[in-house]
């Protein structure tokens, strides 16, 4: 029988709760924000708006500082997106919200290509299997799962950080007005209509410092900014259906691109549902072209006149399956008996984007932003939509939070914020790449593929494969490289800036690229760690010191660099920058052999090499040389410099982050 005498402290009870990210430090006092005065108002609670709201709340913009208005009455949405890229999974993991998605979503590791049989033009045959993701990533697959489920996960996490009424439903954004003279603190007035249960609408307004439109392709925030999407309407109509399949097509559980005489199909396997069955999504091309038109000024009236609408309306469920069976021949595909399709639709989407993603108020401050579909629309073929949209928010959120909290160094009058300005630079460039890639990719998918080297119908299969493989850096989200800016200092011909060796796509540390995950062994507790888990998305910069083999030499470069970097950390507000130390030493050493600042600042962030892989090799860093990298709060390398040049790192950080 256990016999105890015990004493417990009440705070022990707190230990049972899920972990929360620590907020960023707040240096600027919160002006008396009230229910009518918010620091940020987000319009739209779809993936981009909800993700932005969540991130801001986690960084410390919470309580009465934050408000999100959504026009829909409930949380359930008939969203169409279902694909998450490897990079999005990495970001979700860095927030501790990836596990349900990875455990229960459908993984796509390979893609099957089916084309006309060379021997028998009446049937299709498998041409090849290729990896779905061709670049290294922590999660080397895409995941498909219902968009509403992703939104539920985001919202559950939001409830840990923000009051329940942070998101207000049935609130229709009308427009915004600006008054920097009478309301210098909260110059943006957001006007909305609250829709009551009887359908009547009550006008209301709220003042804010910053307004972000995550309100979709028909964004009213964008309209209020005087912007519209520019680009072309696609000439192809596609039908799409989510259902439980009954088929003898062998690769129904693989992502499959099928091209036959009758047209094109994309099979997207989906997650298991409550019955134990598995969903399938089918994209079915509707044969024949629709008049394409360059269309910068489409209004609902124009749409109604458009003959495409009639054609889309003809895409019935019966039509989708009739066409699918024609393409799949000799295989058959049908809706499983006793089941009803979840959803089907016909769509026609061009590649279009807004020319700007932000708008400045008369006080010279960028106060209005758009993210997600409000910025760019494109075809769903490459599974980009929800990902690029959420990554817009991921890029904006920490810059906006730093600006609001007073962490960015600014001019005396606090007007311009060069860090915040990089949001537009970086994401407009990304959106342009997206539009270009999607134009190529979706046209390719709508065309026919030759079965051999005869090129009668456009691309050969090999050319198609090449576009698919080359696009993997982009489609995985892992190949993105932000251009040089205040936040990205590309290596120049300076002896202090070193270029790592190796391919950036395969992990070589490169300014503008995300840090690839590596496995490490933590010094303090001898446990195996994934570096990505050690750099959670908490809004902090990280000074990553990759010490050299001279680590234990008390007058060597490594120890000097560690001391210098510790002093950089201490020169910025507590909680804004973390020191992270990697070392390539094989022998056991003690804390007393390295500068005491390391244990003090980075006891649980000091790592040696793991058995499984060599982080220095992957990062392209020579062990005898070492390096210092500053990693931005979003996981992208800001600068990479020699161990002997910590002043370069110091100067970079002084430009991005306020000092104490």
CA distance 160 to 154: 10
- Residues 95, 229, 564, 579: which binds its own copies (CB under 8 A)? 229
Asked if residue 461 lies in contact with residue 453, where contact means CB atoms within 8 angstroms, the answer is no
136/148 with CB nearer its own copies:
148
Residues in region 196-225 near its own copies by CB under 8 A = 217-218
Counting contacts by CB under 8 A, is residue 319 touching its own copies? no
Which of 179, 235, 342, 363: binder of its own copies (CB under 8 A)? 342
C-alpha distance from residue 637 to each of 38, 516, 600, 631 (Å): 32, 10, 25, 5
Q: Which residues share a beta bridge with 519? A: 530
- Annotate each residue in 68-107 with x if it binds its own copies (CB under 8 A) or - if it does not, as one string: --------x-x-x---------------x--xx--xx-xx
Q: How far apart are CA 363 and CA 416, in angstroms?
A: 9
| CB within 8 Å of 576: residues ≥ 6 apart | 24, 25, 407, 540, 541, 657
Q: Which positions from 4 to 33 touch its own copies by CB under 8 A, shown as an x/- string?
A: xxxxxx-xxxxxxxxxx-x-----------
DSSP 497: B
- Does residue 345 interact with its own copies by CB under 8 A? yes
Cβ-proximal residues to 610 (8 Å cutoff; 6+ apart), any chain: 518, 519, 520, 521, 528
Site for its own copies in 137-196 (CB under 8 A): 141, 146, 148-149, 151-152
Number of residues binding to its own copies, judged by CB under 8 A: 88
Q: How far is the CB of 575 from its own copies (least distance, A)?
A: 9
Our CB check for its own copies shows the closer of 131 and 458 to be 131
Residue among 310 and 453 whose Cβ is closer to its own copies: 310
Stretch that binds its own copies, among 176-184, 349-357, 399-407, 411-419 (CB under 8 A): 349-357
According to CB under 8 A, which one of 317, 322, 554, 600 is a site residue for its own copies?
A: 317
Instruction: Give the β-pairing of 245-247 and 333-335.
Output: antiparallel
Q: Minimum distance from CB of 303 to its own copies (Å)?
A: 7
Beta carbon of residue 568, minimum distance to its own copies (angstroms, whole number): 20
Stretch of 205-213, 307-315, 408-416, 639-647 contacting its own copies, by CB under 8 A: 307-315
- Rounded least distance, CB 329 to its own copies, Å: 16
The encoded tokens of residue 319 equal 């039509």
- What's the rounded Cα separation, in Å, for the pair 488 and 232? 32
Residues 395-454 touching its own copies, rule: CB under 8 A, are none
Of residues 96 and 136, the one with the C-beta less far from its own copies:
96
Residues 513 and 504: their CA atoms lie apart, in Å, by: 7
Whose Cβ is closer to its own copies: residue 75's or residue 325's? 75
Strand order in the sheet with 230-232: 230-232, 351-353, 376-377
Distance CA 92, CA 358 (A): 25
Stretch of 113-121, 194-202, 346-354, 454-462 contacting its own copies, by CB under 8 A: 346-354
**Dihedral angle of Cα 147, 152, 157, 162, to the nearest 10 degrees:** 110
Residue 272 or 567 having the CB closest to its own copies: 272
315 binds its own copies (CB under 8 A): yes
Site for its own copies in 515-544 (CB under 8 A): 524-528, 533
Q: Among all chains, which residue has been given the structure tokens 């002006």?
A: 31
Nearer to its own copies, 13 or 35 (CB): 13
| Options 30, 168, 223, 309; binder of its own copies; rule CB under 8 A | 309
- Smallest CA-to-CA distance from 31 within 414, 434, 351, 329 is with 414
Smallest distance from its own copies to CB 194, Å: 24
Tell the smallest beta-carbon distance from residue 319 to its own copies (Å). Answer: 12
Q: Which is nearer to its own copies, 31 or 524 (CB)?
A: 524
- Kindly report the number of other CB atoms within 10 A of residue 11's CB atom: 7
Q: Which two tokens stand for residue 131?
A: 């990896």
What is the footprint of its own copies within residues 350-369 (CB under 8 A)?
350, 352
Residues 590-609 that bind its own copies (CB under 8 A): 590-591, 603-604
Residue 81: half-sphere exposure toward Cβ, Cα within 13 Å: 28
Q: Within 506-609, where are the H helices?
A: 531-534, 557-570, 596-602
Query: Using CB under 8 A, which of 120, 165, 185, 303 touches its own copies?
Result: 303
Strands 627-631 and 606-609: unpaired
Nearer to its own copies, 193 or 603 (CB): 603
CB of residue 13 to its own copies, shortest distance in Å: 5
In terms of CB distance, is 120 or 303 closer to its own copies?
A: 303
Nearer to its own copies, 273 or 660 (CB): 273
Nearest-angstrom CA–CA distance, 163 and 165: 6
Least distance from C-beta 579 to its own copies, angstroms?
A: 14
Binding residue for its own copies, selected from 346, 405, 407, 598, defined by CB under 8 A: 346
DSSP, res 612:
S
Residue 6 CA to residue 119 CA, distance in Å, equals 81
Residue closer to its own copies, measured from CB, 236 or 402: 236
Please write down the HEC assignment for all residues of 299-313: CHHHHHHCHHHHHHH
Question: Does residue number 286 form part of the binding site for its own copies (CB under 8 A)?
Answer: no
Our finding on whether 3 is near its own copies (CB under 8 A) is yes
Which position among 220, 236, 312, 542 is part of the footprint of its own copies (CB under 8 A)?
Answer: 312
Q: Please pick, from the candidates 70, 242, 425, 519, the single residue that binds its own copies as defined by CB under 8 A.
A: 242
Return the SS3 of 429: helix
Q: How far is the CB of 147 from its own copies (least distance, A)?
A: 9
Of 201 and 336, the one with the shorter C-beta distance to its own copies is 336
Rounded distance, CA 259 to CA 21, Å? Answer: 48
Token pair listed for 362: 């008369």
Give φ, ψ of 292 to 5 degrees.
-85, 150
Paired tokens of 616: 């220095």
Q: Rounded to whole angstroms, how far apart are CA atoms 183 and 127?
A: 65
Nearer to its own copies, 349 or 643 (CB): 349
- Contact string (CB under 8 A) for its own copies, positions 114-143, x = contact: ---------------x-----------x--
B/e letters for 339-367, b = 16+ CB within 10 Å, e = fewer, are eebeebebbbbbbbbbebbbbebeeebbb
CA–CA gap between residue 243 and residue 257 (Å, rounded): 18
What does DSSP say about strands 237-243 and 245-247: parallel, antiparallel, or unpaired? unpaired
Q: Does 574 bind its own copies (CB under 8 A)?
A: no
Nearer to its own copies, 110 or 614 (CB): 110
Pick 200 or 307: Cβ nearer its own copies: 307
């Amino acid at each position: 029988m256990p016999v105890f005498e015990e004493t417990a402290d009440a705070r022990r009870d707190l230990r049972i709760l899920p972990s929360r990210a620590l907020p960023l430090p707040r240096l600027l006092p919160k002006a008396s924000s009230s229910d009518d005065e918010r620091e940020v108002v987000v319009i739209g609670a779809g993936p981009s708006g909800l993700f932005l709201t969540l991130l801001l709340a986690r960084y410390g913009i919470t309580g009465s500082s934050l408000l999100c208005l959504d026009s829909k009455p409930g949380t359930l949405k008939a969203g169409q997106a279902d694909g998450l890229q490897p990079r999005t999974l990495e970001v979700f993991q860095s927030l501790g919200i990836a596990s349900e998605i990875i455990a229960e979503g459908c993984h796509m590791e390979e893609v099957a290509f089916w084309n006309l049989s060379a021997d028998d033009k009446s049937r299709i045959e498998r041409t090849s299997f290729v990896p779905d993701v061709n670049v290294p990533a922590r999660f080397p697959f895409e995941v498909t799962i219902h968009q509403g489920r992703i939104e539920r996960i985001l919202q559950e996490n939001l409830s840990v950080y923000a009051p329940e009424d942070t998101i207000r439903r049935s609130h229709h954004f009308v427009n915004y007005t600006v008054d920097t003279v009478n309301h210098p603190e909260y110059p943006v007035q957001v006007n909305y209509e609250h829709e009551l249960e009887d359908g009547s609408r009550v006008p209301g307004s709220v003042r804010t410092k910053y307004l972000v439109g995550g309100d979709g392709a028909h964004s009213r925030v964008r309209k209020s900014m005087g912007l519209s999407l520019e680009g072309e309407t696609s000439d192809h109509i596609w039908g799409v259906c989510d259902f439980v399949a009954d088929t003898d097509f062998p690769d129904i559980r693989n992502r499959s691109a099928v091209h036959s005489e009758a047209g094109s199909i994309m099979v997207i396997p989906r997650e298991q549902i409550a019955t134990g069955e598995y969903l399938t999504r089918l994209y079915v091309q509707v044969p024949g072209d629709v008049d394409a038109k360059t269309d910068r000024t489409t209004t609902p009236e124009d749409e109604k006149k458009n003959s495409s609408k009639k054609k889309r309306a003809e895409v019935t469920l019966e039509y989708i399956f009739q066409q699918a069976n024609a393409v799949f021949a000799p295989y058959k595909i049908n809706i499983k008996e006793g089941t009803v399709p979840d959803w089907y639709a016909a769509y026609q989407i061009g590649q279009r984007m807004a020319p700007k993603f932000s708008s400045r108020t008369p006080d010279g401050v960028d106060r209005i932003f758009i993210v997600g579909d409000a910025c760019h629309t494109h075809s769903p073929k490459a599974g980009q939509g929800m990902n690029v949209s959420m990554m817009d928010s991921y890029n904006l959120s920490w810059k906006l939070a730093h600006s609001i909290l007073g962490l960015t160094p600014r001019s005396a009058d606090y007007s311009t914020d060069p860090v915040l300005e990089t949001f537009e630079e970086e994401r407009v460039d990304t959106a342009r790449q997206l539009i270009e890639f999607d134009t190529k990719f979706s046209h390719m998918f709508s065309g026919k593929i030759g079965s051999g080297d005869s090129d009668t119908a456009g691309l050969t299969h090999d050319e198609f494969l090449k576009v698919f493989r080359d696009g993997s850096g982009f489609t995985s989200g892992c190949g993105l490289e932000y251009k040089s800016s205040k936040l990205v200092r590309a290596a120049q011909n300076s002896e202090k800036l070193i270029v790592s060796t190796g391919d950036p796509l395969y992990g070589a540390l490169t300014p503008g690229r995300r840090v690839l995950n590596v496995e490490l062994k933590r010094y303090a507790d001898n446990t195996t760690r994934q570096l990505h888990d050690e750099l959670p998305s908490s809004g902090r910069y990280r000074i990553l010191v990759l010490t050299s083999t001279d680590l234990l030499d008390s007058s060597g470069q490594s120890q000097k660099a560690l001391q210098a970097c510790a002093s950089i950390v201490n020169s910025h507000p507590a909680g804004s920058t973390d020191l992270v130390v990697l070392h390539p030493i094989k022998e056991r050493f003690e804390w007393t052999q390295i500068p005491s600042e390391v244990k003090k600042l980075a006891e649980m962030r000091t790592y040696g090499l793991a058995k499984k892989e060599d982080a220095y090799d992957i990062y392209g860093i020579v062990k005898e040389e070492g390096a210092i990298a500053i990693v931005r709060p979003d996981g992208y390398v800001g600068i990479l410099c020699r161990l002997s040049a910590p002043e370069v790192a110091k100067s970079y950080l002084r430009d991005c982050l306020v000092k104490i």
